[in-house]
Chains A and B, each alone.
Chain A
Amino acid sequence: EVVLVESGGGLVQPGGSLRLSCAASGFTFSSYAMTWVRQAPGKGLEWVSAISGNGDSTYDADSLKGRFTISRDNSRNTLFLQVNSLRAEDTAVYFCAKGRYFDWFLSDNWLDPWGPGTLVTVSS
């Protein structure tokens, strides 16, 4: 069974940083692209970033480029999201999800399954 568990969220002051983690199990982690999606309280889903199976290719939402960095450690079956210069509007639950393929940019790629998410609250 594929299991994804996010961690690293919490309360952070505006301008601060966090490193989110997503621990994966139940599949060959290095063979699949992975992604982060966030959801502000009471709002819809917003795609954040994605990374190919070997980490060589990364993709970011235009609105977040420069502040968020995705990476992965295939030896530890873990996906990361470094979030910097945090703003109140970054307050959200951050989900990780597994892609269907090694590569990210394929028109029939899906996001499945998803982890339970980790809450990031940006407030002074």
Chain B
Amino acid sequence: SYELTQPPSVSVSPGQTASISCSGDKLGDKYAFWYQQRPGQSPVLVIYQDSKRPSGIPARFSGSNSGNTATLTISGTQAMDEAEYYCQAWDNSTVVFGGGTKLTVL
């Protein structure tokens, strides 16, 4: 079965840039999606089709996907961005999630 691997945690200082990686075999041949989940809340889509932002998602969120790695980048990170982030891809008709990355804004 297809697997996506994320680092368990990433730390960033306020105002700095945070990068969260997601790796999978030939992930660049698929679309990557990213979801933000704040504590006690349900997930929210922040990036779709590798690099597109849904309406209402701040421009500081961006994404890329190439080779075996997709990356979520948050520029000018704010305290409100502290959350768990999950990458997602498709494997045939199955949705696959990465294990999640806890972003801490110190």
A residues near B (Cβ < 8 Å) are 35, 37, 44-47, 50, 59, 61-62, 95, 104-105, 107-117
- Are A113 and B95 in contact, with the CB atoms below 8 A? no
Could you tell me the distance between the alpha carbons of A116 and B100 in the complex, rounded to whole angstroms?
19
Q: Does B14 contact A (CB under 8 A)?
A: no
B97 touches A46 (CB 8 A): yes
Interfacial chain B residues near A46, Cβ < 8 Å = 97
User: Are A114 and B44 in contact, CB atoms less than 8 angstroms apart?
Assistant: yes
Stretch of B19-27, B61-69, B84-92 contacting A (4+ beta carbons < 8 Å): B84-92
Q: How far is the CA of A50 from the CA of B99 in the complex (A)?
A: 20
A45 to B90, CA, bound (A): 14
**Is A59 touching B45 in the complex (CB atoms < 8 A)?**
no
| Distance between A13 CB and nearest chain B CB, rounded to angstroms | 27
Name B15-54 residues within 8 Å CB distance of A.
Answer: 30-31, 33, 35, 37, 41-45, 48-49, 54
